[in-house]
């Protein structure tokens, strides 16, 4: 059984997620999901019993009883019923967490089982499909296929293989009957063969492709209806059944593979430099082919690391529901863009920042129902979590329609807590005041609770997003709501950058920060309020000497013609004056360690083709002050 433990944990987490999402929908009054919730609990029960996890099997059995009573109208859906079902889900998650750490399930199921069973004394022993079989057994001739499956002679875990076949077929339609019955299949109480009656619109080819994903199947035959007249139509020979369709690979091995691809990219850059330096024409064709192969390999590895944001987003509906209930607030939580993909490493890092932002929305943003009605709003607040792809990065938006951020209140709190002097507060613009919420130690909560008030949260969010090479933008209007926009790179390993020269050193600017490049003449540069500016399509942009921003002596005296890179910083465009443009190149990002890690203005380093190390500029942390002339 130990060899199936990882598969069990992975599959169980998916079913628990389905349970959580279904219960949230059920609480909103959508009773159509009850069958889906029931099936998830039933499948978990069968899997747990097969693996010998008695505590999990006991809890899911009691959940199944209660859900069946709800489905039959014997028990009404109340807040108490939903709370107990969520308590059971939490206990199951704790058991899976214990199993994933190499321990036993380590749970006591008695208390939760007692709470579940108090709603109904009726013990339901029949399988999830029993009721459906009664309705559909007479319709087997219409749209129902009989799939006869035979397992290998040396198959050790028959019930597991039967379950996997069930899972694949259930995604294609409705299982209305099985021979022997499902309970015997779950217990492994059958020989080597079994039959499943599937109501589906899928073709025989689609069914065969699905079952090829299940190993240790020696024979599969598909028949239309209950008769065997077309016995040869859907037959799959044992040689057609592939034993392995997918391979589980740890993220560490993918990281190692990405590092090797990175070294390959560096070596490729070196080869191009050698070709250009020595003008070796014979290398052109080979290098072009190597470039193509390297790019394809890089894209394939990056694609393997991409994961849909739903795997993080799906954690939050339950959290928002519990927080809102605890705070006595009504919240309509909306999620959009779950299918947007991010690098697994980036995705793993954004969970905590999103938790902080959503908790902030519930605690500080959304008002109580009474307060909202008093202000002319609906008593139910709205919180939006949205992901969208923009060019070569992903934006994650967290938005609420609550109180908004009052700049004057923020300044007053900052002065009271010693984070700001009164003079500094007076000089601050409203936009600057709002950004104070990202200051370490700042909190607008009037009292410390287990949700907020300790001054830890939004500064952590900002620092984490910046460390990922992203940016955080804030928009807020008093009485209307607040909107946080997190801009994140698709991957942290390899990116395209613009190489520039300043003061004799080469620097890299990630292309997702670059808006455009200009060759500015001396007469194009003006001075406004002591700040050099240029005019771009009717808009005045400040221009900064890059070396000056990096704390070095500027390489120029006064204005002169030079390249200017227009970059986006904090939602505004600024110009960076440099000595020379070198060109666009793929770079491998290496993190800065030790004392260099805290140096502002740099996001990392990269190794050039000739072995030199170049620093990657972090536009978000460059020391550019607020220019009042724009």
Phi then psi dihedrals of residue 415, to 5 deg: -65, -45
Helix, strand or coil, per DSSP, at residue 608 = coil
Does the pLDDT of residue 64 top 50, yes or no? yes
Q: Is residue 122 part of a domain?
A: no
Query: Do 264 and 186 fall within a single domain?
Result: no
CA distance 621 to 7: 43
| Span 395-420, pLDDT tens digits | 999 999 999 998 888 888 888 888 77
Q: Is residue 245 part of a domain?
A: no
pLDDT band at 169 (very low <50, low <70, confident <90, very high): confident
Tell me, what's the pLDDT at 134?
41
User: In the numeric block, which tokens belong to residue 558?
Assistant: 């006064």
Does the pLDDT of residue 226 top 70, yes or no? no
Give the predicted TM-score (pTM) of the model: 0.62
Out of 229-238, 362-371, 494-503, 507-516, the most confident range is 362-371
Domain CATH for 408: 3.30.565.10
| Span 129-138, pLDDT tens digits | 444 434 444 3
Q: Is residue 630 part of a domain?
A: no
Q: Is residue 627 part of a domain?
A: no
Q: Which residues contact 9 (CB under 8 A, 6 or more apart)?
A: 96, 99, 100
Query: Do 348 and 394 fall within a single domain?
Result: yes
Q: Is residue 158 part of a domain?
A: yes
Helix, strand or coil, per DSSP, at residue 194 = strand
Query: Do 50 and 174 fall within a single domain?
Result: no
| Span 457-506, pLDDT tens digits | 688 888 888 777 788 888 999 999 999 999 888 776 677 889 999 888 89
- Which of 84-88, 250-254, 268-272, 352-356 is least confident? 250-254
Query: Do 300 and 320 fall within a single domain?
Result: no
CA distance 489 to 510: 10
Mean pLDDT of 621-630: 55
Query: Do 205 and 315 fall within a single domain?
Result: no
| Span 533-569, pLDDT tens digits | 888 888 888 888 888 888 765 544 456 678 999 988 7
Give burial (CB, 10 Å; 0-12/13-18/19+) of 447: exposed
Does the pLDDT of residue 142 top 50, yes or no? yes
Q: Is residue 472 part of a domain?
A: yes
- Which of 348-352, 394-398, 589-593 is least confident? 589-593
- Which of 14-28, 381-395, 445-459, 606-620 is least confident? 445-459
CA distance 342 to 489: 8
| Span 66-76, pLDDT tens digits | 888 888 888 88
User: In the numeric block, which tokens belong to residue 540?
Assistant: 């005045």
Query: Do 144 and 229 fall within a single domain?
Result: yes
3-state per-residue secondary structure call for 356-414: HHHHHHHHHHCCCHHHHHHCCCCCEEEEEEEEEEECCEEEEEEEECCCCCCHHHHHHHH
pLDDT band at 455 (very low <50, low <70, confident <90, very high): very low
Domain CATH for 162: 3.30.70.1110
Q: Which of 195, 212, 240 is the last residue of a domain?
A: 240
- Of all residues in the chain, what percent carry a pLDDT higher than 70? 84
- Which of 318-332, 443-457, 474-488 is least confident? 443-457
Helix, strand or coil, per DSSP, at residue 515 = strand
**Could you give the maximum distance between any two Cα atoms of the chain, in Å?**
92
Between residues 313 and 470, the one the model is more confident about: 313
Query: Do 412 and 351 fall within a single domain?
Result: yes
| Span 239-270, pLDDT tens digits | 444 444 566 677 778 878 888 888 888 888 88
CA distance 194 to 181: 9
Q: Which of 460, 489, 518 is the last residue of a domain?
A: 489
Q: By residue range, what is the domain housing residue 21? A: 2-117
Tell me, what's the pLDDT at 484?
93
Query: Do 350 and 279 fall within a single domain?
Result: no
Give the count of alpha carbons within 13 A of 29, CB side only: 0
Given a contact cutoff of 8 angstroms between Cβ atoms, the answer to whether 361 and 292 are in contact is no
- The residue to which tokens 């260099």 are assigned: 596
Query: Do 278 and 201 fall within a single domain?
Result: no
- Which of 11-25, 350-364, 390-404, 439-453 is least confident? 439-453
Query: Do 474 and 506 fall within a single domain?
Result: no
Given a contact cutoff of 8 angstroms between Cβ atoms, the answer to whether 398 and 354 are in contact is yes
Indicate which residues carry an active-site annotation: 42, 64, 360
Give the count of alpha carbons within 13 A of 126, CB side only: 12
Tell me, what's the pLDDT at 129?
40
CA 466 to chain centre: 17
pLDDT band at 594 (very low <50, low <70, confident <90, very high): low
Give burial (CB, 10 Å; 0-12/13-18/19+) of 507: buried
Domain CATH for 106: 1.20.120.160
CA distance 614 to 611: 10
Rg (Cα) of the chain, in Å, rounded?
A: 30
Query: Do 484 and 386 fall within a single domain?
Result: yes
Does the pLDDT of residue 366 top 90, yes or no? yes
Helix, strand or coil, per DSSP, at residue 521 = coil
Given a contact cutoff of 8 angstroms between Cβ atoms, the answer to whether 546 and 507 are in contact is yes
Nearest of 379, 375, 378 to residue 328 by alpha carbon = 379
Mean pLDDT of 274-295: 83
Does the pLDDT of residue 572 top 60, yes or no? yes
- Number of structural domains the chain divides into: 5
Q: Is residue 124 part of a domain?
A: no
Number of H-type helices and E-type strands within the chain: 20, 22
Between residues 423 and 455, the one the model is more confident about: 423
Phi then psi dihedrals of residue 571, to 5 deg: 85, 0
Per the omega criterion (within 30 degrees of 0), is the bond before 574 cis? no
Q: Is residue 288 part of a domain?
A: yes
Tell me, what's the pLDDT at 451?
46
Q: In what order do the strands lie in the sheet with 393-400?
A: 330-336, 380-390, 393-400, 481-489, 471-477
Q: Which of 191, 220, 240 is the last residue of a domain?
A: 240
């Amino acid at each position: 059984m130990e060899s199936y433990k990882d598969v069990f944990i992975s599959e169980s987490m998916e079913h628990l997620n389905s349970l959580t999402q279904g219960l949230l929908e059920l609480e909103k009054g959508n009773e159509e999901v009850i069958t889906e919730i029931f099936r998830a609990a039933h499948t978990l029960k069968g899997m747990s019993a097969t693996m010998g996890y008695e505590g999990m099997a006991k809890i899911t059995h009691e959940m199944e009883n209660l859900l069946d009573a709800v489905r039959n109208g014997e028990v009404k859906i109340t807040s108490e019923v939903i709370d107990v079902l969520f308590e059971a889900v939490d206990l199951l998650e704790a058991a899976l967490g214990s199993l994933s750490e190499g321990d036993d399930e380590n749970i006591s199921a008695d208390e939760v089982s007692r709470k579940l069973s108090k709603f109904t004394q009726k013990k339901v022993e029949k399988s999830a499909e029993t009721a459906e079989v009664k309705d559909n057994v007479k319709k087997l001739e219409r749209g129902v296929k009989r799939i006869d499956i035979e397992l290998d002679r040396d198959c050790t875990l028959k019930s597991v293989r039967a379950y996997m076949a069930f899972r694949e077929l259930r995604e294609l339609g409705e299982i209305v009957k099985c021979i022997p019955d499902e309970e015997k299949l779950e217990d492994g109480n059958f020989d080597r063969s079994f039959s499943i009656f599937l109501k589906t619109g899928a073709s025989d080819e689609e069914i065969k492709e699905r079952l090829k994903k299940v190993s240790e199947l020696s024979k599969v035959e598909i028949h239309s209806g209950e008769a065997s007249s077309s016995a040869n139509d859907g037959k799959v020979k044992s040689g057609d059944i592939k034993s392995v369709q997918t391979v589980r690979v740890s993220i560490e091995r993918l990281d190692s593979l990405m590092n090797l691809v990175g070294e390959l990219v560096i070596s490729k850059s070196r080869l191009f430099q050698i070709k250009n330096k020595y003008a070796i024409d014979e290398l052109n064709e080979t290098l072009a082919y190597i470039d193509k192969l390297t790019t394809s390999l890089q894209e394939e590895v990056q694609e393997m690391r991409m994961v849909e944001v739903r795997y993080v987003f799906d954690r939050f509906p339950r959290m928002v529901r519990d927080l809102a209930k605890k705070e006595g607030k009504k919240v309509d939580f909306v999620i959009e863009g779950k299918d947007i993909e991010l690098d697994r490493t980036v995705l793993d890092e954004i969970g905590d920042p999103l938790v902080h932002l959503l908790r902030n929305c519930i605690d500080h943003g959304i008002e109580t129902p009474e307060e909202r009605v008093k202000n002319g709003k609906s008593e139910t607040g709205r919180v939006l979590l949205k992901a969208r792809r923009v060019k070569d990065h992903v934006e994650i938006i967290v938005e609420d329609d609550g109180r908004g951020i009052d700049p004057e209140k923020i300044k007053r709190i900052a002065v009271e807590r010693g984070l700001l002097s009164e003079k500094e507060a007076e000089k601050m613009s409203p936009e600057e005041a709002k950004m104070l919420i990202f200051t370490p130690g700042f909190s607008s909560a009037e009292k410390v609770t287990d949700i907020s008030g300790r001054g830890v949260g939004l500064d952590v969010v900002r620092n984490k997003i910046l460390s990922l090479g992203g940016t955080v933008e804030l928009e807020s209007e008093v009485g209307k709501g607040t909107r946080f926009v997190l801009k994140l790179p698709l991957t942290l390993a390899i990116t395209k950058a613009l190489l520039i020269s300043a003061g004799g050193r080469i620097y890299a600017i990630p292309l997702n920060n670059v808006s455009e490049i200009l060759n500015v003449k001396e007469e194009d540069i003006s001075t406004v309020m002591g700040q050099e500016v240029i005019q771009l399509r009717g808009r005045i942009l400040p221009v900064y000497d890059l070396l000056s921003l990096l704390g070095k002596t500027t390489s120029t005296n006064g204005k002169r013609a030079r390249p200017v890179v227009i970059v986006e910083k904090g939602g505004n465009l600024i110009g960076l004056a440099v000595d020379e443009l070198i060109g666009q190149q793929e770079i491998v990002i290496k993190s800065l360690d030790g004392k260099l890690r805290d140096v502002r203005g740099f996001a990392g380093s990269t190794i050039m083709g000739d072995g030199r190390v170049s620093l990657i500029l972090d536009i978000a942390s460059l020391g550019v002050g607020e220019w009042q002339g724009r």
